[in-house]
Amino acid sequence: MKGPNTHWGNRAMKRESRKKPRDGKVISKAVEPVHDPARAVRLKAGDEKISRSLIEVMEEERRRISRDIHDELGQLATSIKMEVELLSDLGHDKAGLQTVCDSIRKKLDELLDSVSRISFALRPSILDDLGLIPAVESFLEKFQKASGIQCEWECDVRNSEYLPEVRITIYRILQEALTNVTRHAQTSTVKVGLYDEDGKLTLVIEDRGRGFDPFTIDAGRCLGLAGMRERAELAGGKLTVLSGRGFGTKVRMELPIETQREVIR
Ligand SMILES: Nc1ncnc2c1ncn2[C@@H]1O[C@H](COP(=O)(O)OP(=O)(O)O)[C@@H](O)[C@H]1O
Ligand SMILES: [Mg+2]
C-alpha cells in the first residue's frame, strides 16, 4: 500500500492528523449532502424487509460457497477418482503410471488450495490466530493486488485484542464496503481507517469515486448496504453511509468495544 498517508506498521499514527481538515474542497462537498442510504432503504422498504436482509445476504453467501464446493471440490475429486481407477489398468506401464501419478498429485494440490480458499471465506483463521489488525492488513494487501485499487491505511488503536464478535463485524463490513468500491466506485484509490476512542472502535472506508444518490437507488436491491447496517446493529454499533453522485462514498461504522483483557479481569 503506497502513498504519503500509508501507515503500514505504524499503528501509533498521530491522533492530530485525523483532525486536520481534508485536503481540497471536493471531498468536503462530498460529505455535504448527508444521506444515509440504509435509512432511506428502511423508510422505503419497511422494517420487515430490512430484518430479512441479513438472512438473505447470508443465504446468498451459502449458495456461493455451496456452488464453490460442488464445482471445484466435487469436480476435482471426481477427476482424481477416475485417474486412480485408471492406475489399475496401467499394470506394468511405468511411464503411463508416472504420468497419471503426476496428474493426480497436481489435482490434489489444486484441491487443497480450494479447501483453504473456501474455508478462509467461511472464517478467515488469521482473525482468530493473529487478531484483527494483522487480518485487516493481510486482507487489504490481497484486495489491493487483486483489484489494482490502491489502499491508504490509517490505524490508530491502543489495544488490538478485541472480542470475536467485534473482529468478525469489522472484517465483514470492510469486505462488503471494499467489494462495493471495486464494483461501483470507478476509482483507483480508497482510504481505510481504524481508530479507537472513548470505548468505541471506528472503521471508515472512503472513496472519491463516482458516488450515488441514496434516494434513487432501488431499496429492494440494496442487500449489501442493509446487511452491513444490520450486522453493525447486531454487534451494538451504528453504520452510516454518506454519498452523493460524483462526490464519492464514505462508510463509517462505530462499535462499542470491550477488549479481551477487560473481560479476563
Ligand atoms: N462505493 C460505492 N460507490 C458508488 N456506488 C456505490 C458504492 N457503494 C454502493 N453503491 C451503490 O449502492 C447500490 C447498493 O449497494 P449494495 O447494497 O451493496 O448492493 P450491490 O452491491 O449488490 O449493488 C449499488 O448498486 C451502487 O449503486
Ligand atoms: Mg454490494
For the chain, 265 residues long, the average pLDDT of each consecutive 10-residue run is 39 35 30 41 47 74 87 93 91 90 96 90 87 94 95 91 90 95 97 93 97 83 86 92 96 84 43
> Hey, what's the cell of 210?
463516482
Same domain for 144 and 198, yes or no, is: yes
Ligand 1 atom 1: residue of nearest CA? 181
| Domain assignment of residue 61, yes or no | no
Same domain for 38 and 86, yes or no, is: no
The number of the ligand 1 atom at minimal distance from the alpha carbon of 248 is 3
The number of the ligand 1 atom at minimal distance from the alpha carbon of 227 is 17
Distance 175 CA to ligand 2 centre (A): 10
| Domain assignment of residue 10, yes or no | no
Which residues lie with the beta carbon below 6 Å from any ligand 1 atom?
A: 180-181, 183-185, 207, 209-212, 217, 222-225, 249
| Ligand nearest to the backbone CA of 211 | 1
Ligand 1, pocket-test mutation among 180, 189, 210, most atoms within 8 A of CB? 180
| Domain assignment of residue 3, yes or no | no
* pLDDT at residue 51 in the model: 58
The number of the ligand 1 atom at minimal distance from the alpha carbon of 212 is 5
Ligand 1, pocket-test mutation among 42, 222, 242, most atoms within 8 A of CB? 222
Same domain for 259 and 213, yes or no, is: yes
> Hey, what's the cell of 156?
490508530
DSSP per-residue letters across the chain: --STT--TT--S--THHHHSPPSSSHHHHHHSS---HHHHHHHHH-HHHHHHHHHHHHHHHHHHHHHHIIIIIIHHHHHHHHHHHHHHHHTT-HHHHHHHHHHHHHHHHHHHHHHHHHHHHH--HHHHHT-HHHHHHHHHHHHHHHH-PEEEEEEE-S---B-HHHHHHHHHHHHHHHHHIIIII--SEEEEEEEEETTEEEEEEEE-S----TTTS-GGG-HHHHHHHHHHHHTT-EEEEEE-TTS-EEEEEEEE--BHHHHH-
Ligand 1 atom 3: residue of nearest CA? 185
| Domain assignment of residue 37, yes or no | yes
* pLDDT at residue 251 in the model: 98
CA distances from 129 to 27, 112, 124, 173, 202 (A): 37, 20, 9, 20, 22
Ligand 1 atom 22: residue of nearest CA? 224
- Which residues are CB-contacts of 36 (< 8 A; sequence separation ≥ 6)? 214, 240, 241, 242
Q: CA-CA distance, 236 to 53, in Å (whole number)? A: 17
Same domain for 216 and 255, yes or no, is: yes
Boundary residue ending a domain (105, 122, 139): 122
| Domain assignment of residue 4, yes or no | no
Same domain for 169 and 230, yes or no, is: yes
Same domain for 33 and 118, yes or no, is: no
The number of the ligand 1 atom at minimal distance from the alpha carbon of 249 is 1
Q: Using an 8 Å Cβ cutoff, are 210 and 186 in contact?
A: yes
* pLDDT at residue 259 in the model: 59
Same domain for 48 and 134, yes or no, is: yes
Domain, as residue range, for 118: 67-122
| Domain assignment of residue 253, yes or no | yes
| Domain assignment of residue 189, yes or no | yes
Same domain for 176 and 80, yes or no, is: no
Same domain for 139 and 183, yes or no, is: yes
* pLDDT at residue 1 in the model: 58
Burial of 110 (0-12, 13-18, 19+ CB in 10 A): middle
CA distances from 252 to 61, 101, 194 (A): 23, 52, 10
| Domain assignment of residue 72, yes or no | yes
CB atoms within 5 A of ion ligand 2 belong to 180, 224
Same domain for 132 and 258, yes or no, is: yes
Distance 54 CA to ligand 2 centre (A): 12
What total of structural domains would you count in the chain? 2
CATH number for position 156: 3.30.565.10
Boundary residue ending a domain (107, 122, 137): 122
Distance 184 CA to ligand 1 centre (A): 6
Q: CA-CA distance, 257 to 236, in Å (whole number)? A: 9
Q: CA-CA distance, 265 to 260, in Å (whole number)? A: 9
Sign (positive or negative) of CA dihedral 252, 241, 60, 188: negative
Same domain for 142 and 20, yes or no, is: yes
Distance 12 CA to ligand 2 centre (A): 32
Same domain for 132 and 254, yes or no, is: yes
